[in-house]
Amino acid sequence: MLVDRYDDRYDEGDAMKHRSRDRAGLTAVTALCAVATMVVQIPVAAADSPAGAREYRVQGTPVQGSGSGAGAPSLRPGRTYADSLGPGEKRFYGVDLDAKSTAYVSAVAAPRPGAGVVSYRDGVTVTLKNPAGGVCGTVPRRIETKGVAYPLADYVTRQTGSGSVASCRTAGRYLVTVERQAGSADPDSWPLELRLMVEPPVKGGSTGPAPEGSWHAKPPQPPSGGPRPRQGGRGFSDAPLVSTGVWQDDFEPGETHFYRVPVDWGQQISAIAELPADAADKSTRPLGQAVAMRAYNPARGLAKRGTALAQEGERPRTEVSTAPAAYGNRYAKSDYSVRAMSLTGGYYLAVTLNPPNVEPHLDGTVPVTLRVRVAGQARGGPAYDGNAVKAGFGLTDDEKREARKAASPLEPEPMGRPGAEDRDTLQAVAYTSFGTGSLLLVGLGVWILTARRRTAAEGLRGEPEAADAATGQHRYGPPPAW
């Protein structure tokens, strides 16, 4: 065998000497490969994070709710208002409604991040009363985890279709109250954001019952792959658009970031928020509850709470999966998570990093990955008797295109070209790889040339190297068994 002939030409000392040279050459090439890897994977230094967690950003016209219905300020459709609410306070606001439209009055109460809140003792209750003083709807929202302060958001609604309270279908002045529980552990006033949205009536009445059972199937699987950076908003008003894809954002413990997702009729959201891989070994400890997520509909009504999914050895993550959007869902004999999916437009994902769970385990700013899938083909919806998009319901033409694109399988751009936001990164990697590859080729060439010269010199001292039996060509360099 050729290996035997190679070994027979040298004594044991020479063989050990040349094997040492071969190992040295191989070590040099391996070192160059390590350098190449280090060059490509050198992280870019992140910009300095702001001191402390970002607070919820209230945007709207200043308004001061009254202490009774007599002097309640009026809220106008399509406008957002800003107020504040102290422990035990109750504020009144007026809304003028017709006898045909569906109305949604939302309230967002935002304790500061890190506030000393107590679960089931800190919260707000929003109530809507008709002109005669009867209750049309009421919704309480409470802090769910001790020591975790996050924006509390939901709405009360006035429906005009079948099944709604007859006394709440009349035209007139309705009263909205927002009340904060007394005895709060947090003495500060909470910023309060209010919004009235009026949905136009549907031509010809209701569009039918809810598609019962369609939301009980296994939720669509969110996409895998590497993330793209996307900084979340500080509230509903400045939430950036995200759709099907993988996104990453940096959080300070206690922060809540908002993202807007376009959803058309027949579509649903499936999303996962997860912590870095280095937190995987702590996922079954308190860190497993460190990230929370909630979905809200276009009228800012709570559509779904997240569910923690972390198992032993997995990175901590929380999932939200909604029912498909259908007009008839508002009449569903089911829980809020189905009835809230009765609108189209910009839905919202609110992701919170819980400080009591995170700070003992992860230091400083924490990168959170958000995996989003908008599933389902867009369907035709009801014919509104009015401009629903202008009223804040439905999607613009651009948003509809984005929603259709989001429901399609994830594919690269034609001809495999990267998107514009990725080109700079890929170009830098290409330049680095080119330079590193050249370095590797030079190093490998030097090593082979040295090996050939050594073989030639040894051939002058001993027998010529045997030719390959198959090709008749002489072999150079390291033995075939290398």
Give the model confidence (pLDDT) of 199-225 as tens digits.
Answer: 999 986 657 666 655 556 677 888 888
Please answer whether residues 102 and 160 qualify as being in contact, where contact means their C-beta atoms are separated by less than 8 angstroms. Answer: yes
pLDDT at 409: 54
pLDDT at 40: 33
pLDDT (mean) for 274-279: 81
pLDDT at 421: 35
pLDDT (mean) for 134-139: 96
**71 C-beta neighbours (distance < 10 Å), count:** 11
* Per-residue pLDDT at 424 exceeds 60: no
pLDDT at 370: 97
Confidence of residue 439 (pLDDT cuts 50, 70, 90): very low
* Per-residue pLDDT at 301 exceeds 60: yes
**323 C-beta neighbours (distance < 10 Å), count:** 24
Q: What is the pLDDT of residues 332-353, one digit of tens each?
A: 887 889 999 999 999 999 999 9
* Per-residue pLDDT at 428 exceeds 90: no
**202 C-beta neighbours (distance < 10 Å), count:** 20
Of the candidates 109, 124, 104, which has an alpha carbon nearest to the alpha carbon of residue 174? 104
Q: What is the pLDDT of residues 41-78, one digit of tens each?
A: 323 333 333 348 999 999 999 999 999 999 999 999 99
- In angstroms, rounded to a whole number, what is the distance separating the alpha carbons of residues 376 and 211? 14
For the chain, what percent of residues have pLDDT higher than 70? 69
Q: Which residues contact 419 (CB under 8 A, 6 or more apart)?
A: 413
Q: Which residue has the tokens 């839905």?
A: 347
pLDDT (mean) for 180-197: 94
pLDDT, the chain, mean: 77
**Angle 328-332-336 (CA atoms, 0-180°, nearest 5)?**
110
How many residues in the chain?
A: 482
pLDDT at 257: 98
More confidently predicted of 315 and 96: 96
- In angstroms, rounded to a whole number, what is the distance separating the alpha carbons of residues 125 and 187? 18
- In angstroms, rounded to a whole number, what is the distance separating the alpha carbons of residues 421 and 415? 17
pLDDT at 335: 80
Least confident of 122-126, 270-274, 458-462: 458-462
pLDDT at 332: 83
- In angstroms, rounded to a whole number, what is the distance separating the alpha carbons of residues 385 and 27? 76
* Per-residue pLDDT at 292 exceeds 60: yes
* Per-residue pLDDT at 327 exceeds 60: yes
* Per-residue pLDDT at 82 exceeds 50: yes
Please answer whether residues 118 and 146 qualify as being in contact, where contact means their C-beta atoms are separated by less than 8 angstroms. Answer: yes
* Per-residue pLDDT at 320 exceeds 70: yes
